Chain A
Amino acid sequence: MSRTADLVIVGAGPAGMAAAVTARRHQLDVLVVDEQAAPGGQIWRDVEAVSCKPQAAFLGNAYHEGLAAVGRFRASGATYEPNTKVWQVEAGPRAFLTRDGAASSVKARSMLLATGAQERPVPFPGWTLPGVMTVGAAQIMLKTSGQVPVEPVWIAANGPLALLYAAQLLKMGGRIAGFLDTTPAIDVSATIPKLAAAAFAAPGDLLKGLGWIVNLRRHVPYIRHVARIEAFGTDRLERFRYETASGVAATVDAHLLLVHEGVVPSIHPTLSLGCVHNWLGGQDCFAPALDAWGETSEAGIFVAGDGGGIGGAAVASLRGEIAGLRIAARAGRISAVEAQAAAQPIRSRLKRALTARSFLDAFYRPRASIFVPADETIACRCEEVSVASIRAQAAIGRPGPNQIKASTRAGMGPCQGRQCSYTIASVLADAEGRQVPDIGLYRVRPPLKPLTLDELASLDDVGCPT
Chain B
Amino acid sequence: MPDVSEAAIDTIVIGGGLHGLSASLHLARAGRRVVVLERSWVGRHASSSSAAGVRTLNRDLAELPISLESQDMWHNIEAIVGSDCGFRAYGQVNVAEHPKHVAVLEKRLALTRAAGYTHEELIDRAELTRLIPAISSHCVAALIVRTDGAADPHLTLRAFRRSAESAGVTIHEGYGVTAIERVGSDWQVHADGRSFVAPTVVNAAGAWAGDIAAMLGDDIPLGHKASMMIVTERIAPLLKPVVSVVGRPLSFKQSDQGTLVIGGGLQGSADIQAQKSFVDFSELAKGARAATDLFPSVGPLRIVRTWAGMEGKTDDHLPVVGPSPTASGVYHAFGFSGHGFQLVPVVGAILADLIVHGGTNRCIEALSADRLMARRPAA
Q: Is A459 an interface residue (CB 8 A)?
A: yes
Known contacts A397-B173, A456-B281; 4 additional CB pairs below 8 A are: A103-B285, A402-B44, A450-B304, A451-B302
A188 located at the interface, meaning its Cβ lies under 8 Å from any Cβ of chain B in the complex: no
B43: Cβ under 8 A from any A Cβ = yes
Measuring CB to CB, which residues of chain A are less than 8 angstroms from any residue of chain B? 88, 90, 96, 103, 105, 274, 397, 399-400, 402-403, 406-407, 409, 412-414, 416, 445-447, 450-454, 456-461, 464
With A399-B41, A407-B158, A456-B288 already in contact, the answer to whether A412 and B276 are too (CB < 8 A) is no
* Residue from the list B279, B288, B304 in contact with A457, Cβ < 8 A: B288
B285 and A457 contact, CB distance less than 8 A: yes
A91 to chain B, nearest CB (A): 9
By the criterion CB–CB under 8 Å, are B282 and A414 in contact? no
Q: List 7 A-B contacts (CB under 8 A).
A: A397-B41, A402-B44, A453-B291, A454-B292, A456-B285, A459-B285, A461-B285
A454 and B302 CA atoms in complex are apart in Å by 9
B145-176 CB mask vs A (1 if < 8 Å, else 0) is 00000000010011000000000000001000
Distance of B43 from chain A, by nearest CB (Å): 7
Query: Which chain A residue lies CB-closest to B157?
Result: A406
Contacts of B357 in A (CB 8 A): none
**A453 vs B300: C-alpha distance in the bound complex, in angstroms?**
6
Cα–Cα, bound, A33→B108 (Å): 51
Q: Is B307 an interface residue (CB 8 A)?
A: yes
Task: Count chain B CB atoms within 10 A of each CB in A105, A399, A459, A460 and give the residue with the most.
Answer: A459
Given A399-B41, A406-B154, A453-B298, check contact A414 B304 (CB 8 Å). Answer: yes
The B interface is mostly helix, strand or loop, or mixed, namely: mixed
A452 touching B305, Cβ below 8 Å: no
A458 to B276 Cα, complex, angstroms: 27
What separation, in Å, do the CA atoms of A458 and B285 have in the docked complex?
A: 7
Cα–Cα distance between A452 and B230 once the two chains are bound (Å): 11
Contact of B43 among A274, A400, A406 (CB under 8 A): A406
| B232 lies within 8 A of chain A by Cβ | yes
Closest to B232 in A: A453
Given the known inter-chain contacts A399-B41, A403-B41, A461-B285, please indicate yes or no for A447 contacting B173, CB distance below 8 A: no
Question: A414 contacts which of B281, B285, B302 (Cβ < 8 Å)?
Answer: B302
Give min CB distance, B192 to chain A, whole Å. Answer: 15
User: Which B residues are in CB contact (< 8 Å) with A90?
Assistant: 278
- Assuming the contacts A399-B41, A457-B285, asked whether A450 and B154 have C-beta atoms less than 8 A apart, the reply is no
Inter-chain residue pair count (beta carbon < 8 A): 88
- B285 near A450 (CB under 8 angstroms)? no
Q: Mark B342-374, 1 if CB is under 8 A from A, else 0.
A: 000000000000000000000000000000000
The proximity string for B residues 254-285 relative to A, scoring 1 for CB distances below 8 Å and 0 otherwise, is 00010000100000000000001011011011
- CA separation between A225 and B137, bound complex, in Å? 65
Q: Lowest 10 A-B CB distances belong to which pairs?
A: A454-B299, A450-B302, A456-B288, A461-B282, A457-B288, A459-B285, A457-B289, A445-B305, A453-B288, A406-B154
The A-contacting residues of B in range 285-329, CB under 8 angstroms, are: 285, 288-289, 291-292, 298-307
In contact, A446 and B306 (Cβ under 8 angstroms): yes
Q: In the bound complex, do residue B233 and residue A450 qualify as a contact, i.e. CB atoms below 8 Å apart? A: yes
B154 touches A452 (CB 8 A): no
For residue B83, CB closer than 8 A to chain A, the reply is: no
Determine chain A's interface SS by DSSP, over half rule: loop
- Check if B301 sits within 8 Å of A453, measured CB to CB: yes
A42 to B17 Cα, complex, angstroms: 45
CA distance A462 to B147 in the complex (A): 40
Chain B residues 193 to 210 lying within 8 A of chain A, measured CB to CB, are: none
B285 to A447, Cβ gap below 8 A? no
Check if A456 sits within 8 Å of B284, measured CB to CB: yes
Which residues from chain A contact B276 at a C-beta distance below 8 Å? 274
Which one of A88, A274, A402, A409 contacts B281 once the chains associate, using CB atoms below 8 Å?
A88
Bound-state Cα–Cα, A105 to B280, Å: 12
Candidates B285, B299, B304, B307; contact of A460 at CB < 8 Å: B285
Flag whether B48 is at the interface (Cβ < 8 A): yes
Residues of A within 8 A of B282 (CB): 105, 459, 461, 464
Q: Of A399, A406, A464, which is within 8 A of B48 by CB?
A: A406
Say yes or no: B304 contacts A416, CB within 8 Å.
Answer: yes
Task: Please give, as numbers and ranges, the residues of chain B lying within 8 Å of A459 by CB-CB distance.
Answer: 281-282, 285, 288
B292 touches A457 (CB 8 A): yes
- Closest B residue to A447 by beta carbon equals B303
B13 to chain A, nearest CB (A): 17
A445 touches B303 (CB 8 A): no
Q: How far is the CB of B138 from chain A (nearest CB, A)?
A: 16
Q: A413 to B258: give the CA distance in the assembly, Å.
A: 12
Residues of A within 8 A of B157 (CB): 406
How far does the Cβ of A426 sit from chain B's closest Cβ, in whole Å? 20
Q: Are B173 and A454 in contact (CB under 8 A)?
A: no
Question: What CA separation (Å) do A457 and B41 show in the bound complex?
Answer: 34
Q: Does A412 lie within 8 Å of B305, measured CB to CB?
A: yes
- What residues of chain A lie closer than 8 Å to B233, measured between beta carbons? 414, 450
> Which partner residue on chain A sits nearest B154 by CB separation?
A406
- Taking the closest CB of chain A, its distance from the CB of B282, in whole angstroms, is 4
Asked if residues B285 and A452 are in contact (CB atoms below 8 Å), the reply is no
Name A445's contact: one of B41, B232, B300, B307 (CB within 8 Å): B307
- Write out the residue numbers on chain A whose beta carbons fall within 8 Å of the beta carbon of B301: 452-453
Which residues of chain B in 229-269 are interfacial with respect to chain A, using CB atoms and an 8 Å cutoff?
230-233, 257, 262
In the bound complex, how far is the Cα of B281 from the Cα of A460, in angstroms? 10
Shortest Cβ distance from A444 into B: residue: B305
CB neighbours (8 Å) of A407 from chain B are: 154, 158
Q: Smallest Cβ distance from B166 to chain A, in angstroms? A: 13
CB distance from B52 to the nearest CB of A (A): 12
CB distance B41 to A96 under 8 Å?
Answer: no
With A and B bound together, what is the CA distance between A464 and B305 in angstroms?
24
A453 near B292: Cβ-Cβ < 8 Å = yes
